[in-house]
Amino acid sequence: MKSRPLTLIDDTDSLIEYSAAMDRMQEMWEERVADQRPDTLWLLSHEPIFTAGARTPEAHFPAPETDIPVLLTRRGGQLTYHGPGQLVGYLIVKLQPGEGVVDLIRDVEHRLVTALAELGIPAERRDTPPGSELLTGVWTRDTGRKITSIGMRVGRNVSTHGFALNVIGDLTPWKLAVACGMPDVDMTSVERELPGQEPPTMEQVVATIATAFEAAAAPSPAP
């Protein structure tokens, strides 16, 4: 993994509406393009919503009567779910020399594998079979379930969007649609993978993710 120190923004103390987060992420992207902000990892959680990448087949959407809204996005990847108990990480970073978006995604996967190991969950990324669409995300090694979804976009050499790690809470919404373009995928969470144990708090997961991503809170301005 390349060294990539990041400035951390931790907004996990409340749920953030998705469209409001997209507006703020766009502002961060513009600031990074103009070199007005450092590489940034923004951690947050969303109100319940399904989001779909540009190439998500309509057949993968939830049924019309589902009360969770669906929003089309400009990121890569397929349909995913966001909701309470999930840690979302948006990466607003400038690609390093010789680095492409796939390289960045692989770096994110490796860092998430490292973080999950620290939480007591052996995990792995998977290679894309020849001729298949890019396979992204992180799976648990022992149970073969998917625990993290990844979808990113790069414009003017700066990334947006990122990853969603299921930590605690209800996994039922994942069964209402075809997650990640894989009809047979079994989505899981940190809580589910540690049966009989007290799951780590969101604060503990945030700290573990921050360490794996070399992310530290920005220093307070001088008085």
To which residue do tokens 């969303």 refer?
Answer: 46
The end-to-end CA distance of the chain, in Å, is 37
Sequence-separated (6 or more) residues with CB below 8 Å from residue 99: 2
- From residue 181, alpha-carbon distances to 59, 67, 141, 167, 200 in Å are 10, 21, 20, 21, 29
Q: Which of 115, 180, 187, 215 is catalytic?
A: 180
- From residue 62, alpha-carbon distances to 4, 48, 50, 195 in Å are 37, 13, 9, 29
Residue 181 corresponds to which tokens in the numbers above? 């373009």
Paired with 43 in beta bridges are: 10, 89
- From residue 214, alpha-carbon distances to 6, 41, 122, 123, 202 in Å are 6, 10, 20, 19, 18
How many CB atoms sit inside 10 A of residue 68's CB? 15
180 in active site: yes
Catalytic residues: 180
